[in-house]
Amino acid sequence: MDKLDTSWVLRWAELAQHVVSENRIALMELDRAIGDGDHGDNLDRGFTAVSAKLADAAPDTPTAALKLIATTLMSTVGGAAGPLYGTAFLRSATAVGDGAIDASAVAAMLAAGVEGVVARGRAEAGDKTMVDALLPAADAARTVAEEGGSARAALEAAADAAAAGAEATEPMVARKGRASYLGERSAGHRDPGAQSSALILRAAADAAAREAGTGP
């Protein structure tokens, strides 16, 4: 599929809710090792609320859908994750516009999203945070766009890069967030925010595949 539209955003939210629910316990266990242990519960509550809000509001543009996702996550997800994810979706909404979403728009969305997270969380690559998944995802999408690839290809590349980025946080020593209090003891554990970011971006890619009629 060369371009995406509002239906893709809605399907992305639906699949994100499913994958977060399925991985709720795993995300809690990751967070329990180096944080508060509530990351999975918080995100599950947030994306469940997102699904309900989208069903009620039935937004008819990508921007409206992404903004509704953003504000719902901000108001329902506890801890740092709500403001961070909310900011990412809000910046993405501003970047994408209301036309059909091509690879360049996907790249712009992801770049704006990670810029928002960096600004809000004051984190950089290597700090062992969600930035370590989101930044390589944005870079991968930009590369596909520059090479003339499709929106779906950009999302696939982003999802793969985010998964690799999340895995790469395991040996890192945390420099931001609650995990940083553990110092060297934070090494050996995957960052839960990076992992949830990878799961949500995989949902975005799967949603694009389903829109094209080729997804699972």
Residue 165 — left, alpha, or beta (φ > 0 → left; ψ -120 to 50 → alpha)?
alpha
CATH number at residue 86: 1.25.40.340
Res. 215 pLDDT band, cuts 50 70 90:
low
Q: Is residue 32 in some structural domain?
A: yes
On whether residue 82 sits in a domain, the answer given is yes
More confidently predicted of 216 and 138: 138
What is the span of the domain harbouring residue 116? 6-211
pLDDT tens-digit map of 42-89: 999 999 999 999 999 999 999 999 999 999 999 999 888 999 999 999
* Within a domain: 1: no
Question: From CA 137, how far away is CA 43, in angstroms rounded?
Answer: 20
In a domain, 35, yes or no: yes
Could you report the per-residue pLDDT of 11-30, keeping only the tens digit for each? 999 999 999 999 999 999 99
In the predicted model, what is the mean pLDDT of residues 115-125? 93
**104 pLDDT above the threshold of 80:** yes
**Other C-beta atoms within 10 Å of 75: how many?**
12
Average pLDDT over residues 90-98: 92
The tally of domains found in the chain comes to 1
In the prediction, which pLDDT does 107 show?
98
